[in-house]
Structure 1
Amino acid sequence: MKTLVLFYSTYGHIYRLAEAIAEGARQVEGNQVDLRRVPETLPPALLDQIGATEAQKAFAHIPVARPEELENYDAILFGTPTRYGNVCGQMQAFMDSTGALWARGALVGKAGGVFVSTATQHGGQETTIRSFHTELLHHGFVIVGLPYAWQGQTGHEEVTGGTPYGASTVAGGQGERQPSANELEGAAFQGRHTAEIGRKLAAR
């Protein structure tokens, strides 16, 4: 059993969720979990300008994924920040490079899920996940969300991410808010849940 957590992170919020997703997936016995990031497409000068260069040093050690690697996994969870209610350009560029996998049906029947971050509580978390689901369906993934079996998304005592479509976090307008304990718990639940379903699908 192998699970891939594939992400793009600008300031580290998605990376933090990816770590929690991976931690949850590792709770499935015998599951090999790999963290990978998609290639950066912004020029270094622009990354400096938006203050991302320093933040990205925290996950510079994570290997960059190659599209052909995806077929080696039973479950894949994709992490992306939101851009105007949709997938970020870096992740979209990577997905656009998976045409050869699509042509061979290499990802059909694998478990797939999505997790996101937005600046504000209503900044497109659900639309981003749902739009990414469309791409996963074209590849033949069996989509796995974050069911209400995880009760952390039913509370209203605090501002929090977490949707039935997938784990999420609210980063703040300046990226000042880090994922909360509740959001990380939801991410771990999704990681474990997706890996469990991936195992069942692989055993068919």
Structure 2
Amino acid sequence: MAKIFVITYSTYGHINTLAESIVKGLEKGGVDVSRYQIAETLSEDVLEKMHAPPKTDIPIITTDDLLKADGFLFGFPTRFGSLPAQVKAFFDSTGGVWKDKALVGKPAGFFYSTGSQHGGQEATVFSTMPFLAHHGIVYVPLGYTSPHLLDNSELVGGSAWGAGTMANGDGSRQPTEKELAIAETQGEGFAKIAKKLAA
């Protein structure tokens, strides 16, 4: 059975909420799923000033852990239209597995959260493409596989690049049912492709 890691960095919990639906979709797609989180680099003092809740007890991912998976779905919030420094620091630590070409051909996808509708959801994913290209990782986008992505009757996060949500600047908006459904669709679709690549 293909083994997929869902790897998140979540400051206020929105990404972890989306991840639950991603996992549900992956399991429907018939793959083995493990959850990891990216290590925090901010001090407790800074996190307290940000009113960030305590981190979950999800295991911290290491570069060696990446070798055990057949594919990855990464979830994280945007920071000024790009990936957070914590995620960049993790990607920057993968030089050893890059040297060994250990991730070539493995699939990866992304899901994300922004503070506002125009906070850079697609740009955030776009900023990760060099990491995938240098490792030879196969990018698997969501595409327009969910009808909710074409729904203009209300605010709906996500795009062809991956599932997403808007948190508001103060974190008060939570993922909606439609956004969670999009995340589940992404997980299920990713599982099908990952199984083919792992076969």
**Structure 1 CA distance for aligned equivalents of residues 156 and 28 of structure 2:** 24
What fraction of aligned residue pairs are identical, expressed as a percent? 44
Q: CA deviation at 1:56?
A: 3.1
Q: Distance in 2 between matches of 1:133 and 1:197?
A: 19
Query: What is the aligned partner in structure 1 of residue 132 from structure 2?
Result: 136
Per-residue CA shift, 1:91-134, capped at 9, x if unaligned? 11111111111111111111100111000001000000111122
Aligned to 1:39, the other structure's residue is in SS state coil
Match of 2:85 in 1: 89
Distance in 2 between residues matched to 1:115 and 1:191, nearest whole Å: 10
Q: Is the 8 A contact 2:145 2:185 kept in 1?
A: no
1:6-25 correspondence runs (5 A): 6-25=7-26
Matched-pair contact (CA < 8 Å) for 1:21–1:190: yes
Unaligned runs of 5+ in 2: none
The number of residue pairs the alignment matches comes to 198
Partner of 2:5: 4
The one-letter code matched in structure 1 to 2:94 is T
Length-normalised TM-score, structure 1: 0.94
Q: CA deviation at 1:72?
A: 1.1
Q: Report if aligned partners of 1:114, 1:132 keep a CA contact under 8 Å in 2.
A: no
Name stretches of at least 5 consecutive residues in structure 1 with no aligned partner.
Answer: none
Structure 1 counterpart SS, 2:78:
strand
Alpha-carbon distance, 1:150 to partner: 1.3
2:102 corresponds to 1:106 = yes
Distance 1:47 1:149 in 2: 37
CA distance in 1, matches of 2:46, 2:144: 40
Which deviations, in whole Å up to 9, do the C-alpha atoms of 1:10-53 show, x marking residues without a partner? 00011111111111111122x2101100100000011111100x
- C-alpha separation in 2, matches of 1:149 and 1:80: 21
Matched, 1:69 2:70: no
Partner of residue 56 from structure 1, selected from 48, 54, 57: 54
Are residue 45 (structure 1) and residue 41 (structure 2) matched? Answer: no
Quick one: distance in 2 between partners of 1:181 and 1:56? 25
1:113/1:143 contact within 8 Å kept: yes
Which of structure 1's runs of 4+ aligned residues deviate more than 2 A? Answer: none
The root-mean-square deviation of aligned C-alpha atoms, in Å, is 1.0
